[in-house]
Structure 1
Amino acid sequence: MFNAYPSHGPSNLLLEWEVTLNGSVVQKGKVPVLTIAPQHAGTIRLPARIPASPGEVFLNISYREKKPGSSLPAGHPVAREQLRLQEYANDLSIHPAGELSFADEGGTFTITSPVTTLNLQFNKQTGWMQHYAMGARLLAEDSSGLTTDLGPGHSPVQEPRLQLFSTSTSTDLAVVKADYLIPETPFLLHARYTVNAKGEIQVEQILEVDTTQPRDTTAAAVAIKYPPLFGMKWILPAGSDSVLYYGAAPVTDSCGRTRVDLSRLHADDTGSWADIRWWKLTDVQGHGLLIAADSSFLSIHVHNKQLNIDHPFIDGGADNYHYIYKVTPQ
């Protein structure tokens, strides 16, 4: 710590620190007395420990006025700092959790479980999920498709066109695959859903350049325009009214875990959350969905009960973008 005061020490400052693991405070403390000479640096040792559990670990440090000053009241924050001690890691794997049953009829592929009352349905004509429930608990009414956007100044991208729908099943795991062509662009979009009896879903999305299309590699050729945004749209059931999320909020705002209470999802209610590690939406009984990202961030947007799960904006330059997130019933 460097004492920038020209003529006195930081005796009126209280140092507070905390260690967070994936947004939750696991350790905290205070240093009530700071003795560093003016215009000098000093070392302050904190008994902070990195948790044994995997996850993103931050050390948050703040300085507050202990007594009222000439212009600042007691307790007023004068400085904050955040240090990352451990990188974010999240286990998105799906493990067997009981017996699954399958039905393929009437243009619908259905996954059920007699153990957990899972009922998950996919439309074989569009590849979209159209029903997601655990017994009487409806988690998603429908999914209204995939989202892509070429950005400002470009025509809207047409709805992705399903090229192939396929499934791979075992007694306790199912994989649903949907491959799309994005019209008027040189891109293919692959969606993969890995499901177990608990209703846990690993959603994998891959955006890649269609190498079967001819590409002009001359210097005068117009560069490929990459969609800066792509993701998925789900339709939420009525009654979900509480959001809990963990994201990369700056420490000066609401670092780590933040709670937002929504009275209800009205037609005019809109909520947007950017740079999300995980996001949980529940009803008054605590039932709902937890969506957790891989090492990248997600952007969540809710409007008119439509849930948009979008991936980070793409700068371009690569032929393949691969993102994974996990959906867990609550």
Structure 2
Amino acid sequence: MRLLVKIGSNLIQTPEGDIDLSFLSKLARDIKALKQEGDEVLIVSSGAVLCGTKKLGIKERPKDLVLKQALAGVGQAYLMHIYDVVFSNYGLIPAQVLLTSDVFREKAKFYNSKNAIEQMLKLGVVPVINENDTVAVSELVFGDNDFLALHTAFMMDVELLVILSTAGGLRDEKDQIIHFVDDVDKAFSFVKGVNSEFGTGGMFSKLTATKMALNLGIHVIITGKEDSLVNLKRFETSGTYFKPLDKPLKQRKKTIAMMEEPKGVLYIDCGAYRALKEGKSLLPAGIVKIGGIFKRGDTVSICLEDGRLIGKGKVNFSSEELMRVMRKKGHDVKAILKTNKEEAIHRDNLVVF
């Protein structure tokens, strides 16, 4: 089995604020055991900014973006040094991989990166992947590597995505961990959305990435760092296991979902969302707001009014045209735009997560 383990910033440190060498040692032991069984493990690790603050003795979480980028440059070297020292004790060789979002948008970069990481796995090393925080902005502001882990899992044909979290899993209204989820949409009702000290994500980000992974046919487990990777490989967890869809997306729609850069955002109402889940096209009548500037044929994200990402698709109309016909019915759309089309996005060009 090929597994990807995503580690958030606050998993790297102890409650006292020190680097958690005990956890990293346990992680190395688990990876060694899996490799002996013939499994392959990739790591997506946050922590560059955290390690930079440790190295320079900065006590408070930095807020300035440029300072974060500078700290990431210092911290990434320290972070990899820690991985190298700890993993070497267990006969493991870590390899640093720094990616930026354009890798997943440009075909040549995508396959060059994929081939390089595949070669690392053939050499028996453990890829430790992070976004290139010194030059990238999005990971420092949104998501805390949850989506980098998702895109990497897609690129590397991962079977199981393990997202380690301080929450230990998805928790219900009584703060008890929900151990099995087969309908991820219902899981969003339990999200509290509290960010961690050095991370910028939260359970909302993790569930959004999880929902997309399930559509790709990838198993997902959200759990705490006490869980054993050996047990997780068998889908045995003290956290939350999410079952993938029985019929994952076809390759063309996977490409739209994972490799097409969205040029804008369409915000839709609940009625339109229900229609999309039934396999129907997105009509202008269901659009309540438009973000960004895009032209016909561009890919856009589709969100609910609360900002939850629920899909992507290629638009039949530009942002200017959709501004004129949003909330209008089909015959009005055809009359106003002088067209035979009435769908904002046809279902054949639409991915619903």
- After TM superposition, the score normalised by the length of structure 1 is 0.26
Specify which structure has the higher proportion of strand. Answer: 1
- Choose 1 or 2 for highest CA Rg: 1
Which of the pair is proportionally richer in helix? 2
Query: Could you state the TM-score of these two structures normalised by the residue count of structure 2?
Result: 0.25
